[in-house]
Structure 1
Amino acid sequence: MIRPQTTSTPAAPPGGGDERASTIRAALAGRALVFVGMMGSGKSAIGQRLAARLGLPFVDADAEIVAAAAGMTIPEIFAKYGERYFRDGERRVIMRLLNAGEMVLATGGGAFMDPRTRERVSARGVSIWLDADHKTLMKRVRRKNDRPLLHTDDPEETLRRLLETRRPMYELADIRVESRDEPQDVMVEEVIDALVAQLPRIDAARKAQKKDFAKAMTHLHLERVHADQGATHRETIHVALAGRSYDILIGAGLVEEAGAHIARIAPGAACAIVTDENVARLHLPTLEKSLTDAGIRYTTIIVKPGEGSKSLATFGRVCDEVLAARIERRDLIVAFGGGVVGDLAGYVAASVRRGSRFVQIPTTLLSQVDSSVGGKTGINSPHGKNLIGAFHQPSLVLADVDVLRTLSLREYRAGYAEVVKYGLIGDKRFFEWLEADAEAVFHSRAEQICAVAVSCETKATIVARDETEQGDRALLNLGHTFGHAFELLTHYDSARLVHGEGVAIGMACAARFSARLGLCAPQDAERVAKHLASVGLPTEIRQIPGFDSDARAILDAMYQDKKVEGGALTFILMRGVGEAFIAKSVEPGEVLSFLNDELLRA
Structure 2
Amino acid sequence: MNSSIGSAPSGEAEPARDPRIASLTAALGARSIVLVGLMGSGKTSTGRRLAHRLGLGFVDADAEIETAAGMSIADIFARHGEPYFRDGERRVMARLLDAGPRVIATGGGAFLNEETRARIARRGISVWLKADPDVLWRRVRKRSHRPLLHGPDPETTLRTLLEQRYPVYARADITVMSHEGPQEATVEEMISGIEFFLRFSPDPPTLASQRNMHDLGNSTSSQAAASSGDEPSSPALVEVKLGARAYEISIDDGLVEEAGSRIARLAPGAACAIITDANVAKLHLPALEKSLDAAGLRHSTVIVAAGEESKSFGVFAEVCEALIAARLERGDLVIAFGGGVVGDLAGFAAATLRRGMRFVQIPTTLLAQVDSSVGGKTGINSKHGKNLIGAFHQPSLVLADTRVLETLPPREFRAGYAEVVKYGLIGDAGFFGWLEANWRAVFAGGDARIHAIATSCAAKAAIVGRDETEQGDRALLNLGHTFGHALERIARYDGARLVHGEGVAIGMALAFRFSARTGLCSLEDQARVETHLREVGLPTRIGDIAGLAVEADEIIDAMQQDKKVERGSLTFILARAIGDCFVAKKVDAGEIRGFLQKELSAGH
Structure 1 and Structure 2 fold alike (TM over 0.5): yes
1:517 and 2:538 are equivalent in the alignment: no
Deviation for aligned residue 1:47: 2.1
Deviation for aligned residue 1:23: 10
Distance 2:433 2:580 in 1: 13
Rate the CA distance shift 1:414–1:3 in 2: closer, same or farther, 3 A. farther
Q: Aligned runs of 1:22-421 on 2, under 5 Å?
A: 34=90, 35-38=93-96, 44=103, 47=106, 70=196, 88=206, 113=213, 115-116=215-216, 119=219, 226=229, 229-230=231-232, 233-421=234-422
Distance 1:117 1:435 in 2: 27
Residue 318 of structure 1 aligns to a residue whose secondary structure is helix
Deviation for aligned residue 1:45: 5.1
Aligned residue for 2:493?
492
CA RMSD of aligned residues (A): 3.6
Deviation for aligned residue 1:36: 2.5
Distance 2:264 2:208 in 1: 30
Residue identity in the other structure for 2:524: Q
Residue 301 of structure 1 aligns to a residue whose secondary structure is strand
Gaps of 5+ in 1: 11-17, 78-84, 92-109, 125-209, 214-221
Residue 244 of structure 2 aligns to a residue whose secondary structure is coil
Residue identity in the other structure for 1:310: K
Distance 1:447 1:460 in 2: 20
Contact 1:373–1:459 (CA<8 Å) still a contact in 2? yes
Contact 1:36–1:112 (CA<8 Å) still a contact in 2? no
Rate the CA distance shift 1:9–1:419 in 2: closer, same or farther, 3 A. closer
After superposition, what is the alpha-carbon deviation per residue over 1:144-170, rounded to whole angstroms, capped at 9, x for unaligned? xxxxxxxxxxxxxxxxxxxxxxxxxxx
Q: Aligned runs of 1:448-597 on 2, under 5 Å?
A: 448-597=449-598
Rate the CA distance shift 1:87–1:562 in 2: closer, same or farther, 3 A. closer
Distance 1:533 1:23 in 2: 46
Rate the CA distance shift 1:116–1:323 in 2: closer, same or farther, 3 A. farther
Aligned length: 466
Residue 260 of structure 1 aligns to a residue whose secondary structure is helix
Contact 1:338–1:364 (CA<8 Å) still a contact in 2? yes
Rate the CA distance shift 1:383–1:44 in 2: closer, same or farther, 3 A. same
Rate the CA distance shift 1:485–1:113 in 2: closer, same or farther, 3 A. same
After superposition, what is the alpha-carbon deviation per residue over 1:468-513, rounded to whole angstroms, capped at 9, x for unaligned? 0000000000000000000000000000000000000000000000
Distance 2:309 2:101 in 1: 59
TM-score normalised by length of structure 2: 0.70
Contact 1:307–1:492 (CA<8 Å) still a contact in 2? yes
Residue 337 of structure 2 aligns to a residue whose secondary structure is strand
Deviation for aligned residue 1:406: 0.2
Rate the CA distance shift 1:578–1:491 in 2: closer, same or farther, 3 A. same
After superposition, what is the alpha-carbon deviation per residue over 1:38-58, rounded to whole angstroms, capped at 9, x for unaligned? 466999555268887576778
Rate the CA distance shift 1:240–1:42 in 2: closer, same or farther, 3 A. closer
After superposition, what is the alpha-carbon deviation per residue over 1:168-208, rounded to whole angstroms, capped at 9, x for unaligned? xxxxxxxxxxxxxxxxxxxxxxxxxxxxxxxxxxxxxxxxx
Rate the CA distance shift 1:557–1:330 in 2: closer, same or farther, 3 A. same
Distance 2:101 2:329 in 1: 59
Gaps of 5+ in 2: 1-32, 46-72, 111-139, 141-145, 149-157, 176-189
Aligned residue for 1:191?
none
Deviation for aligned residue 1:226: 3.0
Residue identity in the other structure for 1:397: V
Rate the CA distance shift 1:361–1:49 in 2: closer, same or farther, 3 A. closer
Deviation for aligned residue 1:88: 2.2
Rate the CA distance shift 1:291–1:593 in 2: closer, same or farther, 3 A. same
Residue identity in the other structure for 1:47: T
Residue 247 of structure 1 aligns to a residue whose secondary structure is strand
Distance 2:259 2:569 in 1: 45
Aligned residue for 2:153?
none
TM-score normalised by length of structure 1: 0.71
Deviation for aligned residue 1:238: 0.4
Distance 1:304 1:426 in 2: 36
Residue 236 of structure 2 aligns to a residue whose secondary structure is strand
Deviation for aligned residue 1:549: 1.2
